[in-house]
Amino acid sequence: MLIAAAFALVFGGFKGRAFVCCAVLIVLVVDDGVANPLKHFTNRPRPYQAMAGVRIVQLQETQPRFLALIPPAVVSWSTLPPKTRDDRSFPSGHVTNNFALAAVLAWFYRRRGWLYFIIATLVAWSRVYKGDHYPSDVVSSAVIGAGVAVILMMVLDFLWRNYGARFLPTLHSAHPTLLCE
């Protein structure tokens, strides 16, 4: 993702730079301003913490981390729930962040941007498959992530249209909206 962001910043023109700035801002707001406070507010245990017999899939520890896809995963079953919980289930940070990014990609890149919803859906499925989240967690997280992203994109576009000329008049005259065609 860092390579794609760097590519968009260097070769993407105004649209690529605006996309990267909006995506970073929105994912930060969705993660730190929405998902994490909701996790602490709801305090819902993960499936393997709440009941016995839940499949837990763990990738082996490797460096760099993406090489963990090569060796086979370790599959185990949860036992009696632990007395203390150190992690929360709702909402899924992975899912809220990926669906927020998918919404921003769709906002900027229309048809091609919508393809990232496939990846975001696979991430959501993996969270349930791994035993970290309930299906209701990931569905709700997808709605929260995409919904907050769309609202924030409308706010950012409004701010750029109405106040961009004050701070960056030359750039704003060339690009009066964040959605340049």
133-180 pLDDT per residue, tens: 888 889 999 999 999 999 999 998 888 888 878 888 887 777 777 775
Which candidate, 49, 56, 44, places its Cα nearest to that of 141?
44
Give dist(CA 120, CA 105) in Å, integer.
Answer: 12
Out of 26-35, 79-88, 120-129, 136-145, least confident range: 79-88
Coil vs helix vs strand at 181: coil
Residues 6+ apart with CB under 8 A from 140: 90, 91
Q: What is the mean pLDDT of the chain?
A: 81
Q: What is the pTM of this model?
A: 0.78
Locate the domains of the chain by residue range. Answer: 2-44+90-174, 46-87
- 110 strand-pairing partners: none
DSSP assignment of 33-77 equals IIIHHHHHHH-PPPHHHHSSS-EEEEPPP-SSGGGGGSSPPEEEE
- In tens, the pLDDT along 2-43 reads 787 777 777 777 788 888 888 999 999 998 898 888 888 887
